[in-house]
Structures are given as structure tokens and as C-alpha cells.
Amino acid sequence: MLMEEYISKINFMLGFPANKNIENVDISEAVDLAFTELKEYMKTPVNKTVPYATRLDLKALGINTVNVLYVQAAEPRLGLSLTSFDSSNVFQVAASVNMASGYGQGTGINIDPIMSQMALQQVRNALSTDLQWTYDQLNQVVYVTHRAPIPAMVTVRYVPIFSDVSEILEPTWINYLLRMGLAFAKVSLGRTRSKYIINGSNVTNDGDKLLSEGNAELEAIRNELKAKPSKLRVLN
């Protein structure tokens, strides 16, 4: 949802524009306050696959974070295949093939050396690290090295920092943002209206009621967030 959509829904729940916002309370500020507070709870990691490079500029790639969890090849090698041999090993395997020929016998291939080389290579693949990476938080750069063959893409797993309300896609967090934004708007509106006292009139001022409702709703939302942080998820 865009900021304009949040503002429209909160205005409707407050009775605007039927009851016009004569106090000129800025609803976008209420949404921003709620957004800033909720960001502290939205810590679920996400993945992003990007082209391989030895220097990944996170800002240029649209990755806003201060916590990179890991980097891996988008299609890591699984098991052992002939394509996983280095060029030197290919020649070693070729050289290890023994050709035998005798009188009255055909040419044969001794397959044992090939199997031995494949077994050794499988051990090497299991024990060696294909990809290594280092995160430079100050410059927002990840340095990556990968032994041949180099992957076309790598996947970065990180904890996102949201910069705009439109980036929130999970319905649970959208609902929390609406509720908390409405509560902050009630607090602001209530404080404004409670400054004025109307005597000798049939018109009543609901400032104190709005202020009380807003503070109670904020307390309830904060208690919910603290009680079940592990059950909340952000999907992106």
C-alpha cells in the first residue's frame, strides 16, 4: 500500500472528510511514526539474487541493510559431475587412462584410475569452499571470490531495512501499520481538541476521549508485538 492509501483509510476511520480535519492534523506524520516504530520488529531475512561480481555494491543493487547473513551461488554445485573438474584434473584423468593391447586382443581401457580420480575430486569438492565473501558494512559493499567455474548469479540473504511504507507486503504488518497509525492520529487529534473547552453549548469536545483511546491502542499494539515477535513474518 502507498502512503496515500494509508492516509485515506485512517481519514475514513477518523470520520474524515465527513467530519472535516479542521485541526489540520497531518495523518502522514502519524503513519511515519508508526512505520518507524514497527521497523524495529520487522527482522525476518529475505533473499535477493543478483549477477555475480567480485564487488557487490549493495546500494546499487537495491539492497538496504546493515546485516548480511550469507552469500552463496544461486545454483551451487551438487554432488559430482564431469563439469565440476578443473581443467588440470581433466588432463590428469585423461593421462590416467591405461590403454592395453595384446596379440589377439582388442584395445581396452583401465577404468580404475578414472574412478580413483573422480573419488579424489569428490572429496576435494566436499572439503573445499567454492565461494568466500566479506561484508564491508561501512561502505555497504560485499567482496566475493569464487573458484572456477564462476557462477552467473549469487544470492544474498540479509535483514532488510525498509525505507518506505510501500515496501511492506505482508498483510499482518500492513494491519499493524494501519492500527498504529490510527492510534497516533487519535493521540495527536485528541491533544489538539482537548486544548479547547466549550461551555454552555450542545456541542461536546471528544478530545479527551480520543487521547485516551489512542494511548490505550498504542499500549495494546506494543504489548502484542513484544509478546509474539517470533510468530511475525515479512515476505518480500
Is residue 55 located within the same domain as residue 137? yes
Q: Please report whether residue 195 resides in a domain.
A: yes
In this structure, what C-alpha cell is assigned to residue 220? 495494546
Cα angle: 177, vertex 230, 9; to 5 degrees: 10
Domain boundary among 134, 160, 186: 160
Burial class (CB in 10 A: 0-12, 13-18, 19+), 23: middle
Report the C-alpha gap between 102 and 106 in whole angstroms.
Answer: 7
Which residues, in sequence order, are CB contacts of 232 under 8 Å at separation 6+?
41, 42, 44, 172, 173, 225
The last residue of one of the domains, among 107, 142, 160, is: 160
Q: Predicted confidence band at 186 (pLDDT cuts at 50, 70, 90)?
A: very high
Judge if 77 and 156 occupy the same domain: yes
Looking at the fold, whether 50 and 35 belong to one and the same domain comes out as no
Same-domain status, 35 and 63 = no
Determine, yes or no, domain membership for 236. Answer: no
Assess whether 61 and 153 both reside in one domain: yes
What are the grid coordinates assigned to 19, written together? 467530519
pTM, two decimals, is: 0.66
Structural domain count, the chain: 2
Last residue of a domain, one of 160, 192, 220: 160
Same domain, 53 and 124: yes
Q: Do 103 and 148 belong to one domain?
A: yes
| Distance (Å, whole) CA 41 – CA 173 | 10
**104 is in which domain, residue-wise?**
46-160
> Does some domain include residue 79?
yes
End-to-end CA distance of the chain: 13
Residues 89 and 150 in one domain: yes
Q: Are residues 151 and 69 in the same domain?
A: yes
What are the tens digits of pLDDT across the range 187-226? 999 988 877 776 666 666 778 899 999 999 999 999 999 9
Tens of pLDDT, residues 43-74:
889 999 999 999 999 999 999 999 999 999 98
Q: What letter does residue 39 receive in the DSSP assignment?
A: T
